[in-house]
Structure 1
Amino acid sequence: VADFLVGFPQMALNIFHYGDCWLLGDFGCAVICTFSFFIVSVSAGNMVLISVDRYVAICDPMLYPTKVTMKRVQFSIYLCWIFSAVHTFWILRDFLQQPGRHNSCYGECVLVVNYAEVVVDLVATFLGPILIITVLYMRVFVVAVSQARAMRSHVKSVTHHRPGTVTAQKSEIKAARTLGIVVIVFLLCCSPYYIFTAAAESNLVEASSGGTEIWFLYFNSCLNPIIYAFCYPWFRKSVKHILTLQILQPDSRDTNIL
């Protein structure tokens, strides 16, 4: 839902920002800026929640059903959205009181935040999530490799042939690939925006020239569904089953997609 809201309302409303002219007035400027901060923060929080879920599932699988219950999942999601809302309104509190006070002429949409707010946003939306995700996925990777090696040793002792080695190596490669994709894509998409923000605060670049960096930040939400959904074989099979209209066949419900 968070990534969809970035792709549909957020990106669509930017159509009204034609060149240097904002067509929706000061109120529309306040709405789009607030929504942008809020939904990007939620998207980063969701990535943290998914990494926690994978950490528990792989590192403590026997207790996963008791630790990750429906109520805890719902509470975590609600908490993520509430924290993002509080974070957003605190960052933009001065801007929301008078949205157009930094505009030099009619038709501008200028957002100015002070250094302390930039630092808080940098830690809460970028450095904090990337640190948590990296630490958890490193732990997941170590456990996955150890499990693969244990499986390889078991296969060797039972069957005395090499197919188990191939399976174990594939598991190790898949774990490394997942870890790399998640961390690298997040860094590549978000780093330009936060580097630009830091440079703008230091007066190294003009604050009004950050359009490309913002679109990179939004693009992360386009890639998240690919990383977290299309990497699953059963999901790809389901999509193929739907797009090829096999789902309309009478025996469609009996198809094995796992």
Structure 2
Amino acid sequence: MNIMAHEENITVQYCFPENNSSCRKEVRTGPAYIFIFILLSCVSVCTVFLNLLVIISISHFKQLHSPTNLLILSLAVADLFVGLVVMPVNIMQLMDSCWYLGKVGCYISPIINFLSLSASLFSLILIAVDRYIAVSDPLLYSTRISVCKMSVFIILGWSFSLFYVIIYLYFNDHFHQSQIRCYGECVLVIKYTWVIIDLVFFFITPCSLILILYSIIFKIARNQAKAVRAVTSGVSNSQRDKVSKSSETKAAKKLGIVIFVYLACWVPVFISSLTAESVTSVSVIWTIFGWLNYMNSSVNPLIYAIFYAWFRVSVKYIVSCRIFESSSSRFNLFPEHH
């Protein structure tokens, strides 16, 4: 029961006073809630801003039109939807217990939510596969992986994600809305069977695949560093060891960051979902751990784009509005290559 208390008197408000079947409204106020709303709003804005920078950079500059960057672009588009649609909708529900977007909005919102998260996860897997191929067979990479082939894989990934989300919501009776008790409510209840299915297909399997691929990548990187150290001539042993250890350290750090962020954002929500016979979208635990998933969309552009020098250069062109120059798409983002 949603009740808003004002000092000693308790005043019941309704989401839609003119409707007799309207839900009761709970307005969350106070310094703590205001701080949370401001913080989450800033996270949403930063998520949109960072992913927009990635999307504009890769789309505008021709030097960045590569298969690997297409995957980063796909990831940024998925994460953009999280920051632009999913986060604001969830903030709205935190501020006010009522649902003001109607039945159509209630149908579409979970689709966008799960599609964004699924497509983001699928992009992470493709990035791991792409890096594995690039490291294990660098000489044949350009012949095996092309922009056209990668575009097809991305389209298939988004299509599969959409198909899975629709099936997922359909078998959880989302489109029937039988769990809605009053007008102004939008609740999603996930059956325990589908919690297990989701755990296997969207956590255990992709997590295992990413861990295995990045472990192999790290092992190959170490072997390549040792090979470089062995064939290097005219350099002192201490210098060779320093270069090799530096390469291994960078690879280990990047591997560690990728795995840590992925697990930190996904493990809690799946563990908590196993403790209940069904999961409801209005539960406190689901809300908290759901936001951990959303935070992954904020961190992804930091991991997969900001660590690259070309991104820092492209951001300078974007912020200074130089991208509006006629030849800006051909700007050199890799000055060290000249």
TM-score, normalised on structure 2?
0.68
Once the two structures are aligned, what percentage of the paired residues are identical?
38
C-alpha contact 1:238 1:257 (8 A) present in aligned 2: no
Tell me, yes or no, if structure 1 residue 214 matches structure 2 residue 290: yes
Distance 1:134 1:160 in 2: 35
Q: 3-state SS of the aligned residue for 1:12?
A: helix
Quote the residue 2:157 is aligned against: 80
Quote the residue 1:70 is aligned against: 147
Tell me, yes or no, if structure 1 residue 228 matches structure 2 residue 297: no
Distance 1:82 1:247 in 2: 32
C-alpha contact 2:218 2:252 (8 A) present in aligned 1: yes
Cα RMSD for the two superposed structures:
2.7
Tell me, yes or no, if structure 1 residue 23 matches structure 2 residue 105: no
> What letter matches 2:283 in structure 1?
S
Query: Any residues of structure 2 matched to 1:114-153 within 5 Å, and which?
Result: 114-153=191-230
Deviation at 1:15, TM superposition (A): 3.8
C-alpha contact 2:188 2:281 (8 A) present in aligned 1: no
Aligned equivalent of 1:97, options 175, 198, 202: 175
C-alpha contact 1:45 1:80 (8 A) present in aligned 2: yes
Runs of 4+ aligned structure 1 residues displaced above 6 Å come to 244-249
C-alpha contact 2:81 2:112 (8 A) present in aligned 1: no
Quote the residue 1:39 is aligned against: 116
Q: 3-state SS of the aligned residue for 2:270?
A: helix
Q: Which has the larger radius of gyration?
A: 2
Q: Which moved more, 1:68-77 or 1:8-17?
A: 8-17
> What letter matches 1:62 in structure 2?
L
Q: 3-state SS of the aligned residue for 1:113?
A: strand
C-alpha contact 1:16 1:24 (8 A) present in aligned 2: no
Distance 1:202 1:27 in 2: 24
Quote the residue 1:3 is aligned against: 79
C-alpha contact 1:58 1:144 (8 A) present in aligned 2: yes
Deviation at 1:104, TM superposition (A): 3.1
The number of residue pairs the alignment matches comes to 255
Distance 1:103 1:168 in 2: 61
Distance 1:171 1:233 in 2: 17
Runs of 5+ consecutive residues of structure 1 not aligned to the other structure: none
C-alpha contact 1:10 1:32 (8 A) present in aligned 2: yes
Distance 1:147 1:73 in 2: 26
Distance 2:246 2:317 in 1: 26
C-alpha contact 1:16 1:23 (8 A) present in aligned 2: no
Deviation at 1:134, TM superposition (A): 0.6
**Cα gap change, 1:246 to 1:108, in 2 (>3 Å):** closer
Deviation at 1:207, TM superposition (A): 6.3
Quote the residue 2:272 is aligned against: 196
Deviation at 1:239, TM superposition (A): 2.8
Distance 2:301 2:289 in 1: 21
Distance 1:163 1:248 in 2: 45
Distance 1:206 1:77 in 2: 29
Going by fraction, where is helix more abundant, 1 or 2?
1
Distance 2:179 2:139 in 1: 56
TM-score, normalised on structure 1?
0.88
Deviation at 1:232, TM superposition (A): 1.6
Q: 3-state SS of the aligned residue for 1:97?
A: coil
C-alpha contact 1:200 1:207 (8 A) present in aligned 2: no
**Cα gap change, 1:181 to 1:76, in 2 (>3 Å):** same
Quote the residue 2:22 is aligned against: none
